[in-house]
């Protein structure tokens, strides 16, 4: 069997209500993952793209969070209506959906405005 071309990790971490960092599952990430998986199956991508459940990706303030490897493209604030575009543009045509990509300053840096003030990013 050929290797998978891509792994898509969808955070489905769940935390108790009121947790200061929130969690992706409270923002519908479980159904987003299911939709992504079904859409990939319909497109015949099952042998090439793996849609994986993930625990916390430490991007909770940007959730629902998805990361696609091997490119290491981080998507944040993903909504159900974004799935089709991710599948068509990125997983089929290889072009990341730029409008959903988390800015560099957000991923694992102290400059992220969502963790303590500063400019806002889409829907945050």
CB of 114 to ligand FES, least distance (A): 12
- Whole-angstrom distance, CA of residue 83 vs CA of residue 49: 14
CB of 11 to ligand FES, least distance (A): 3
Q: Note whether 59 binds ligand FES by CB under 6 A.
A: yes
Q: Which stretch binds ligand FES (CB under 6 A): 45-53, 59-67, 73-81, 99-107?
A: 59-67
Q: Note whether 57 binds Zn ion by CB under 5 A.
A: no
Among residues 120, 110, 13, 8, which one has the least CA distance to residue 57? 13
Q: Encode 74-88: b = buried (16+ Cβ within 10 Å), e = exposed.
A: bbbbbeeebbeebbe
State the pairing for strand pair 6-11/73-75.
unpaired
Please list every residue from 78 through 107 that binds Zn ion, using CB under 5 A.
106
Site residues, ligand FES (CB under 6 A): 11, 13, 23-24, 56-60, 63, 65
């Amino acid at each position: 069997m050929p290797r998978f071309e891509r792994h898509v990790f969808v955070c489905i971490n769940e935390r108790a209500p009121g947790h200061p960092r929130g969690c992706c599952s409270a923002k519908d990430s479980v159904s987003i993952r299911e939709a992504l998986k079904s859409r990939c199956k319909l497109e015949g991508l099952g042998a090439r793209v793996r849609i994986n459940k993930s625990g916390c990706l430490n991007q909770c303030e940007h959730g629902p969070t998805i990361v696609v490897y091997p490119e290491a493209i981080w998507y944040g604030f993903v909504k159900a209506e974004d799935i089709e575009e991710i599948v068509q543009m990125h997983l089929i045509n290889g072009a990341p959906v730029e409008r959903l990509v988390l800015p560099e300053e957000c991923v694992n840096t102290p400059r992220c405005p969502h963790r303590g003030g500063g400019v806002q990013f889409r829907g945050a």
